[in-house]
Amino acid sequence: MSVSTVRATSPATPTAPTAPTATAPRGRGARITLRTLQVLLGVFFGVASGAPKLIAHPTAVESFDKLGWGAPGMYTIGALELLGGVALLLPLLSSVAATAFIGLMIGAFIVSVTALGGENAATPLILILPLAWIAWARRAETTKLVARVRR
């Protein structure tokens, strides 16, 4: 048995490959696409979806009155959407925000189908896919956030 064979089978030599620490997409195009999605969804949730609720746009008021949730429900959902939209833009919070939005979109789909006659029911389902990609691709950020909170 040669010296090189002994070294290769020595228990001191690690044999298991180490997992990569980064979870973000590796290709430049994929990273750009991911970041673009984060910005677009952040702006969508903050400006196009949250702001009309916070300024009591008549269509938002009508929808929430129809649900029986009134102004408190409308302002709460609007604030969550605005804050979540901002959180999508912050690297440390992007995965948590995307995961929270998935839950919100599931709720929006259920409410749309059961209480609003299915109007715009496809929108929340469509948004779940890019949100799931963001949550998965940025999951290392959640680990960092948990580590900071535990300190």
Tens of pLDDT along 40-95? 999 999 999 999 999 999 999 999 999 999 999 999 999 999 999 999 999 999 99
Instruction: Map tokens 């599931």 to a residue.
Output: 106
**pTM of structure:** 0.80
Pairwise CA distance, residues 142 & 150, whole Å: 12
State the DSSP code for 92.
T
Tens of pLDDT along 104-132? 999 999 999 999 888 889 999 999 999 99
Cβ atoms of 50 and 59 within 8 Å: the answer is no
